[in-house]
Structures are given as structure tokens and as C-alpha cells.
Amino acid sequence: MLRFPLISASGVLMFQFGYVFNELRRRLGRTILTALGLAAGVGLVIGIIGVSQGLDQAQAKVLAPLSSIGTDVLVTRVVGASSNGTSATPTPSANAQTDPRANRGFFFGGPGGNNNNLNLADINALASENSNVTTDLSKLGKPGTKFTHDFFLSATLLSFPDQALSQVAKLPGVVSATPGLTLLAEHQTGTVPEITAELKTGGDTITQNINIAPPSASEQAAIDACLAKRRAAGGGGGFGGPNPSASPGSGGDFRGGFQSCLPERFRNFRAQFRTPLRTIQQVVNPPQTDIKTTSYNVAGIDPASPRAGLVTTDQLTAGKWLTAGQPNQILVANSYANKNKLKVGSTLTINGTVFTVVGLVNPTLTGSTADIYFPLSTLQKMSSKTGRVTQILVKTSSSSNVDAVAKEIQKLLPGAQVVTTKSLAAQVTGSLGDAKKLASRLGGALGVIVL
């Protein structure tokens, strides 16, 4: 009978570790390579998972501001927008009943969005939309005067009468309709230049030949009677006696007496003539000036709508909301405030008016962010766009009828560009969604390879 020595558990464990150690030492290169491969694979999988989670958080961060603007539908007006709508909104044109184009629609020409079908009110409005694009130096002061002026221009959006606001608010399913006005501001500083032009005229010799009509029968009879009378008064020897200074054969005072007997049209002669038309052209060099221009974006909001609009109280980061009835209060975007060292309580002077910063905001990604937010009526007055807006922000009664309300607005305002929050979110997060899908697929493929 064979007997084997008893081996304790600790001895078995030491044997296993020793065996593993000897094998790893004998195959050291292969062991290191395998360990590095596993580490790289696991690291890549963990990294891809982290990127995917980061994209999820970024997408949520982007969409969070969209949910706080209090708007489901955004209505704007752009050039060449097309529409299949057939109804027309009443236009404020005074010639709406007489102009054949007045029934084409509130926006661009009704169906098809053809610019040639603009109603008369819109034609006049668009003609003056950018009437202050150029700088009239003559209105900024005398030559040598330092000036600072801000011009407000239409940017990518065209304005339209704010009567559309009440039309949209009456649609079924609409809870509120808030106006907005976004413009591009050009801040110019410089010196009024002196512009002179010299034109030389004159030096022309003008000759005119006039044929005098001979005396008529009545005029000749009057002349003869006058001469006979003067002969009788002079004793038959001439007119007024001898003139010692007269040259021989001159007839004494005959010339003077004869001239007095002529009709008025022979004694006083006046001729009128018109010189040929001439066009004088002179090239005037452009004035030398030191005008500097900087641009910034402005927006007009309704102080009475703090929960819906281009910016809301949810985006306030410091200060307070605009107070109704205070036209000189403004809100400033954080980025613009940091760049220009502005804070709550700071003042800005624009075209001679002092505005006070009452709040700082972090605008949302609605496509219509601005650097400075004015009360709507204030910006309309400064930009000469009284009664006009560039956006209508619509809040619906339910998220389920957003698309239906958007279609009704499109019919009501032919040519309008109607964008829902859902479609806007899809545009904003499109690249993030694609990156997320790519990261997920890559992570899955790496996981399979590692396994």
C-alpha cells in the first residue's frame, strides 16, 4: 500500500503561484504584449463610453435653453419664402382697395412668395427699410466736427407690420403671441470731412443780330408831324438853332430832334435770348475721413412678457427684468458685457440718449440672440420702424397641436417662415446626434474586438 505525503492548502497555493510565475517569466514578451493589448482595448471602450455620455450631456444642455424661451412656434419674414397658403391677411395700406397688388397677402405676395407680388404698403416699407444705410456727412455737423452715431439696419430678417400679431393671437390653440424686433447696429465714430468743388464759368462772347421792322404807316405819319412841328419851332432853319460844335453838314441838332420824334421802340432797344444748355462735369475726389465702424446686434422685447420672447427671466444671470414704462432700461448679454466691461448699473449713450443696464442675460440658441435688449417701443422709435416687428413668438395650448398651429399660421401669413421648437432643436442638435451615433457604434465594435 502506497502512501503519499500530505500537502497542506498553503502548499498547494504556493505551488500554483510558483507555476504561474515560472510560466510568465519564461514567456515574458508574450505576457507583456497580451497585457498591453487588453489594457488598450478596455481603455478605448471606457473612453468611447465617456464620450457618448458627454455628448448626451451636451445635447441636454443645448436643448435646455430651448425649453425656457416659452415659445413653441417662431414666425419670421425672409426674402423669397414660398408658401402654399391661399388666404390673405388684411394689409394696412391706404390703397388696399385700389391697388391691384394689395390683395396679394400680408407678407411676400401670397402664394409662391414672388417679390413682384408685394402689396403697396410692403413695397413702400421695404424701400425705406434700409434708407439709413449710408452716412449723410452733411447732417453730422460742420467740417472738422467729431461725431458718434449709431445706425440701425435690417440684418437677415425683414420687418413687417405688427398687425400680424393680433391675427396670430386669434388662431385656435394659440395661448400667446409675443413680438420681437432684431436689428444690426452700426456704431460709427470719426470727423466730418470738408468736401469742396470748384467750377469756373463765364468768359463767353455772345453776338446777336436783330432785324428791326420799318415804321408802320401810322408811325411814319407821327414822325413826319413831329419833324414839321420842330421845323416850325426852329424858324425853318433846322431843329433848335445852330450848334457850333456840330461838324459841317451834320445838320446841327437834326439828330437830336429826329431821335425825339422816333417811336419808343426805336429809341429803347432790348433783346432777349437764351444761351445753349451746357452740362459741366467735375470729378470730386472722395473725402478724407477717419470714420471707424463697429457692429453689434440689438433686439426689442416686450417688458410686459417676461416669460416668453427673445429672452426671458429664466436667462437672467444678474440684475432684474425691464420695468414697464421705463424706456431707458436695457438688458445686456453676458458675452457683450464682459467684452465691454459692463455690469448692472452701467450706462450706455446711444445717439444722445443715456441707457442704464438693469440686468445681464445669457441668451438662448433661438437664432435671434442679441448683445443689447431694448424695450420694443424704444428700439422701434430709434430705428424708425414704429409699428413693425421681425418676429412673432407663439405659445400653444398643447405640445400636440404645435404642428397644426404652425400650418394655420402659414396659411394666415403667406410667405412667412414658420419654425417650430422641435425643428429648431433638430437643427441645433443635428451634429451632436450624429456624433453620438458614431460613438455608440464605435464603442460596440471595440467591445466585440476586445471580447
CA distance 93 to 99: 9
Domain membership of residue 213 (yes or no) is: no
Question: Mean of the pLDDT values across residues 61-83?
Answer: 60
- Whole-angstrom distance, CA of residue 34 vs CA of residue 20: 15
Same domain, 368 and 441: no
The arithmetic mean of pLDDT across residues 204-213, rounded, is 73
Whether residues 372 and 312 fall in one domain: yes
Helices (H), 271-416: 334-340, 376-382, 402-412
Examine residue 245 and state whether it is found in any structural domain, yes or no: no
Tens-digit pLDDT profile for residues 308-321: 888 999 899 999 99
pLDDT greater at residue 415 or residue 61? 415
Q: In terms of domains, do 304 and 356 share one?
A: yes
Mean pLDDT of 395-414: 88
Residue 391 domain flag: yes
- CA dist 416 and 431 (Å) reads 27
pLDDT tens, residue by residue, 283-293: 666 666 778 88
Q: Which residue has the higher pLDDT, 364 or 303?
A: 303
Domain shared by 443 and 318, yes or no: no
Share of the chain above pLDDT 90, in %: 24
Rounded to a whole number, what is the largest CA-CA distance in the chain? 203
In this structure, is residue 50 part of a structural domain? yes
Say whether both 371 and 410 belong to one domain.
Answer: yes
Assess whether pLDDT exceeds 80 at residue 89.
no
Report if residue 101 sits inside a domain.
no
Query: Is residue 138 domain-resident?
Result: no
Q: Are 55 and 439 in contact (CB under 8 A)?
A: yes
Q: Which residue has the higher pLDDT, 365 or 24?
A: 24
**Sequence-distant (≥ 6) Cβ neighbours of residue 359 within 8 angstroms:** 316, 318, 319, 320, 321, 322, 331, 332, 344
- With respect to residue 277, please indicate whether it lies within any of the assigned structural domains: no
User: Counting beta carbons within 10 angstroms of the beta carbon of residue 73, is it exposed (0 to 12), middle (13 to 18) or buried (19 or more)?
Assistant: buried
Domain that holds residue 432: 16-66+421-451
Highest mean pLDDT among 97-101, 214-218, 234-238, 254-258: 214-218
Q: Across residues 249-258, what is the average pLDDT?
A: 54
Assess whether 443 and 379 both reside in one domain.
no
Task: Provide the pLDDT for residue 136.
Answer: 66
Residue 107 lies in a domain: no
Distance CA 192, CA 38 (A): 74
Q: Which residues touch 69 (CB under 8 Å, ≥6 apart)?
A: 308, 309, 310, 311, 312, 314, 364, 366, 393, 421
Q: How many domains does the chain have?
A: 2
* Cell numbers given for 149: 452715431
